[in-house]
Amino acid sequence: MSQVMAQPSVQPIAATNDFVVKFANVNGSGSASANELFARSILRMGVPVCSRNIFPSNIQGLPTWYEVRVSGEGWLGRRGDTVDLMVAMNPQTWNKDVDSIEPGGYLLYDSTKPLTSQKLRADVNLLGVPLMQLSNTLEGTIPRERQLLKNVIYLGAVAQLLSMPREVVEGLIADQFAGKDKLIKLNYKAMRLGADYAAANLAGKCRLKVEKADKVGDRIFIQGNDAAGLGAVYGGATVCAWYPITPSTSLAEAFTAHCKKYRVDPVTKKNNFAIVQAEDEIAAIGMVIGAGWNGARSFTATSGPGISLMQEFFGLAYFAEVPAVVFDIQRGGPSTGMPTRTQQSDILLAAYASHGDTKHPLLFPEDPREAFEFAAKAFDLAERLQTPVFVMLDLDIGMNDWLCKPLQWDDKRRYDRGKIMTAEMLDAGKLFGRYLDVDGDAIPYRTLPATHPSKGSYFTRGSSRDRFAKYSEEGAVYVDNMQRLLRKFETAKGLVPAPVRRKAKKDTRYGAIYFGSTSPAMDEALATLERQGLHLNTLRVRAFPFSEEVVDFINAHDQVFVVEQNRDAQLQKLIVNECTIDPARFISILHYDGTPITARFISGAIAERMRATRKEAAE
């Protein structure tokens, strides 16, 4: 292709605090920290950002991207599949990367060597920075260091092109390398090399701009797995058994790190926690159930393949009524699927996990803040309901930094340890039947091992038994127990987080249901639709079992869109299965290519369907 560029056929995009920058890198090249520094710099300027790391199941050499949404308006979901500025550092993905640039957008590339055969677009503005050449001027560095510093050079150039004050980036570099003065100086130098080059050679070429604002407030920038791990600490978890699996590993690691900080006895230096990396997911859930049976708050963190392996144990915990908390950080399935991509595709798997008639409470946090809150709450629910409780995260929430409200804890809050019969209660003559519903809520009392020298012991088993835990194969006894378990699930409806209902500005017969990580993209999509005169009431489902409010919401609308990140409309199917609803009311909006759902996808799909049904109605 000719190196002589035609004039862009469209106007260069001009935008302040509202654009998308994407960094296309090779994994293992050390780009992650520079890219994160970029996102944090913008936050320091008081401008909301959200970032998404799209990475391969690999350690070195494969493509990885880091997408930063800059949004003064505060939209925190992905906007769409296109970007305004592409920092193209990976020759392998060059063509695809160039294709994804908005008309009038910008392409920053390493101009050390002339572009020859690479694909270029007439409607994209080129921003060449000789990164390699500049990095070679950094004296006293070895090639690996220069490779890392190249990332800082492009960071400097991008910051300059976006009119960001240098001191903001410098401040973050100083924070990151605190105590390592030599590294700070070297990184400053690299950053300035890029910034100076852009100032001297590319001034005025980029019309994207970050302007200081006051839109971030007291919000924090945190990953969901980190927040959930912290929630487990606050929620009183003492036993964690886990097996490494992407994208859940960082949750167990976060729990470990927070425990080391907050859970070491100041006097004895001993640990108020036990963390075991098990030999597999089956052993992990076995340990969790053993600990839960013995009265410790215990959990595991895993992903879809782990949930598949744990099935038999879920049935045991459901039937024998043992508390357990399970974090499912969902990824692309089935099978190994797309281990480093996001999906919400374990809903049905988790809801009905194990053979026989089973159902389990599921919680659907929308962001890291809610991941923290639901993590802590899950332990209360598991002990109150004496059953496994699943916190359904996904890779998008779990492994990306999200801007969200600060985490909160009420010091007056006490753990709900559920119905535990004590030695005093047994001595007072209280009747103990392990599976006896004494309070009418279908939740029986349990005793912990070694409660009393002669009363309250029982044999826990996965086989059928009567209300007093005596083995029984009597049909009526079995049915009695299974019916109680169903009633217990009814009780759960009143304990799990209620759905969040939002009313449109105008009355409408359209509704939309969504959950989990879809939230920020949904918020933006609704605003877009509203501008187009398309109004929808919404319901954000936060838990299974579904409360009556979910049924009421659906019945209050003629058409209900259900927005999900899976192929089979799993939440919708669960609703149809569990509630008395006419399935014809539903329209599925499904996004499942493994990348986080975007606002444009949702608004586009819903607008199309709403216009189509309106047209049908008019005809």
Query: Which CB, 275 or 576, lies closer to other proteins?
Result: 275
Task: Give the span between the Cα atoms of 112 and 130, in whole angstroms.
Answer: 4
Q: Is 418 helix (H, G, I), strand (E, B) or coil?
A: coil
What lies within 8 Å, CB to CB, of 215 at 6+ separation is 46, 47, 48, 72, 74
Q: How far is the CB of 294 from other proteins (least distance, A)?
A: 4
- Tokens encoding 141: 């560095």
- Least distance in Å: CB of 461 to other proteins? 4
Residue 287 Cβ vs other proteins, minimum distance, rounded to whole Å: 3
* Helix (H), strand (E) at residue 253: helix 249-262
DSSP string for 66-89: EEEEEETT---SB--S-EEEEEE-
Distance CA 498, CA 446 (A): 27
CB of 279 to other proteins, least distance (A): 4
CB atoms within 10 A of CB 146: 18
Q: Which residues contact 534 (CB under 8 A, 6 or more apart)?
A: 510, 606, 607, 610
Residues 381-410 that bind other proteins (CB under 8 A): 406-410
Please state the closest distance from residue 113 (CB atom) to other proteins, in A. 41
* Interaction mask 262-301, other proteins, x per CB under 8 A: xx-x--xxxxxxxxx-xxx-xxxxxxxxxxxxxxx-x---
**Residue 176 corresponds to which amino acid?**
Q
Tell me how far CA of residue 181 lies from CA of 169, 175, 261, in angstroms: 16, 11, 26
Strand 510-514's sheet: what is its strand order?
500-502, 537-540, 510-514, 559-564, 586-590
Nearer residue to other proteins within complex by CB, 298 or 518: 298
Q: Which of residues 69-108 bind other proteins (CB under 8 A)?
A: none
Residue that the structure tokens 């480093």 belong to = 340
CA angle 299, 301, 305 (to 5 degrees): 130
Give me the least distance between CB of 233 and other proteins, in Å please. Answer: 7
By C-beta, is 108 or 320 nearer to other proteins?
320
The least distance separating other proteins from the CB of residue 550, rounded to whole angstroms, comes to 32
Compare residues 283 and 382 and give the one whose CB is closer to other proteins: 283
Within 10 Å of residue 278's Cβ, how many Cβ atoms?
A: 17
CB of 216 to other proteins, least distance (A): 8
Site for other proteins in 507-526 (CB under 8 A): none
| Window 201 to 240, contacts with other proteins (CB under 8 A) | 218-222, 230, 233-234, 236, 238-239
Please state, in angstroms and rounded to a whole number, the distance separating the CA atoms of residues 401 and 543: 23
Residue in 391, 364, 376, 366 with CA at minimum distance from that of residue 231: 376
Q: How far is the CB of 164 from other proteins (least distance, A)?
A: 18
> To the nearest whole angstrom, how small is the minimum distance from the Cβ of residue 156 to other proteins?
23
Q: How far is the CB of 316 from other proteins (least distance, A)?
A: 5
Residue 226: CA count within 13 A, CB half-sphere: 9
Question: Residue-wise over 362-385: b if at least 16 C-beta within 10 A, else e?
Answer: bbbbbbbbbbbbbbbbbbbbbbbb
Nearest CB to other proteins, comparing residues 283 and 363? 283
Angle between helices 166-176 and 31-44 (to 10 degrees): 120
Q: Print the binding letters for residues 436-475 with other proteins: x by CB under 8 A, - otherwise.
A: -----------xxxxxxxx--xxxxxxx------xxx---
Q: In the range 346-375, which residues lie near other proteins by CB under 8 A? A: none
Q: What minimum distance in Å lies between the beta carbon of 390 and other proteins?
A: 18
Nearer to other proteins, 149 or 237 (CB): 237
User: Could you tell me the smallest distance in angstroms from the CB atom of residue 560 to other proteins?
Assistant: 36
Q: Which two tokens stand for residue 334?
A: 């089935």
Shortest distance, position 299 Cβ to other proteins, whole Å:
11
Q: Which of residues 298-327 bind other proteins (CB under 8 A)?
A: 298, 312-313, 316
b/e map 184-210, b = 16+ CB within 10 Å: bebbbbbbbbbbebbeeebeeebbbbb
CA nearest 430: which of 449, 409, 410, 446?
A: 446
- 414 part of the interface to other proteins, by CB under 8 A: yes
SS3 label, residue 242: strand
**Which of 290, 594 has the CB closer to other proteins?**
290
Contact between 175 and other proteins per CB under 8 A? no
How many of the chain's residues bind other proteins (CB under 8 A)? 73
Cα–Cα dist 457/335, whole Å: 42
- In the complex with other proteins, the residue whose CB is nearer, 429 or 533, is 429
Nearer of residues 87 and 227 to other proteins, judged by Cβ: 227
Q: Which is nearer to other proteins, 261 or 506 (CB)?
A: 261
Binding residues for other proteins restricted to 30-69, rule: CB under 8 A: 43
Nearer to other proteins, 13 or 237 (CB): 237
Q: Which is nearer to other proteins, 414 or 505 (CB)?
A: 414
C-alpha 305/C-alpha 325 separation (Å) is 17
* Residue among 258 and 542 whose Cβ is closer to other proteins: 258
244 near other proteins (CB under 8 A)? no
State which residue, 295 or 516, has the beta carbon closest to other proteins. 295
